[in-house]
Amino acid sequence: MSQTTLTQQDHLVTAPNSLEGLVSDWSTDQEVFKKVQWGKAMMWIFLLSDTFIFSCFLTSYMTVRASTTVPWPNPSEVFALTLFGQNVPLILIAIMTFVLISSSGTMAMAVNFGYRRNRKMTAALMYATALLGLMFVSMQAFEWTKLISEGARPWANPWGAPQFGATFFMITGFHGLHVTIGVIYLTIIATRVLNGVYDRNGKYEVVEIAGLYWHFVDLVWVFIFAFFYLW
């Protein structure tokens, strides 16, 4: 028997039979897409769709700002805080950004310790990440409260173009919702890690998947910070 015939026979034996083989692979939870873990692939798909949403929001913001004939409020003045009798521009925003970027570092270390099966360090770092996220949301709530007390609304504001209020509350609110969901998500995963759930099933990939979501939230804030607060 020729080598070509043997190769063809081997292929017939090992290859799944069209639809039947496909159903068999999926029903046994076989990893596909070049061995990418299912949860990670689904998270990437979700983040891709979320990228489109934030891109539309930021594009709309830039279009509105570039086309309005009414003067746009100066972010350095609108987001300034009075400290020791002096107006310090963007100080709260700078602290918020530092806190959120720092949380990416703790999350990255949590993923590293997760793959080392260090349960306590992984959980501790994830709790620290969630705490930093909670600090960010709290400062954002303070920022909203301050602006609302000064007259800012989604339909108007005392500093100029009325579109400023609509874009500000829409974009920062949508991002703040993502951070809040992330804080809850990380807290749940950290608790499960601490209880040894993933030691029993060996699926520490869930920590990395949570990290993908959190890094995405942090990256989006960098764009919001650049376009909304620095422009």
Chain position carrying tokens 């509105």: 64
Alpha helices in the chain (DSSP H): 3-14, 18-27, 38-67, 75-78, 91-115, 119-149, 163-194, 197-201, 205-224
Q: What is the pTM of this model?
A: 0.82
Distances in Å between the Cα of 188 and the Cα atoms of 37, 91, 101, 124, 193 are 20, 32, 21, 12, 9
Tell whether 80 and 111 lie within a shared domain.
yes
Say what the pLDDT of residue 21 is.
63
* 94 and 23 within one domain: no
Q: What is the CATH number of the domain that holds 143?
A: 1.20.120.80
Terminal-to-terminal C-alpha distance of the chain: 74
Q: To which residue do tokens 């909304």 refer? A: 228
- In SS3 terms, 178-206 reads as HHHHHHHHHHHHHHHHHCCHHHHHCCCHH
Q: Are residues 10 and 120 in the same domain?
A: no
Asked if 165 and 152 touch (Cβ cutoff 8 Å), the reply is yes
- Based on the domain organization, do 204 and 121 belong to the same domain? yes
Predicted local confidence at residue 145, as pLDDT = 94
Residues 10, 115: one domain? no
Residues 20 and 43 in one domain: no
Domain span at residue 181? Answer: 37-229
Residue 184 in contact with residue 176, Cβ under 8 Å?
no
**Shortest CA distance to 104 belongs to which of 81, 121, 87, 129?**
129
pLDDT of residue 160: 87
Same domain for 74 and 170?
yes
pLDDT at 157: 87
| pLDDT, tens digit, 9 for 90 and up, residues 91-131 | 999 999 999 999 999 999 999 999 888 999 999 999 999 99
Same domain, 2 and 67: no
pLDDT tens digit sequence for 50-66: 999 999 999 999 999 99
Domain count, the chain: 2
State the pLDDT at residue 201.
66
Are residue 221 and residue 195 in the same domain, yes or no? Answer: yes
Q: Are residues 164 and 64 in the same domain?
A: yes
Question: Which parts of the chain register pLDDT below 70?
Answer: 1-36, 201-202
Q: What is the pLDDT of residue 131?
A: 97
Query: For the purposes of burial, counting CB atoms within 10 Å of the CB of 7, is it exposed (0-12), middle (13-18) or buried (19 or more)?
Result: exposed
Nearest residue to 171 via CA among 104, 227, 103: 227
> How much is the pLDDT for 3?
45
Say yes or no: 25 and 43 in one domain.
no
Task: Confirm if 81 and 88 have CB atoms less than 8 A apart.
Answer: yes
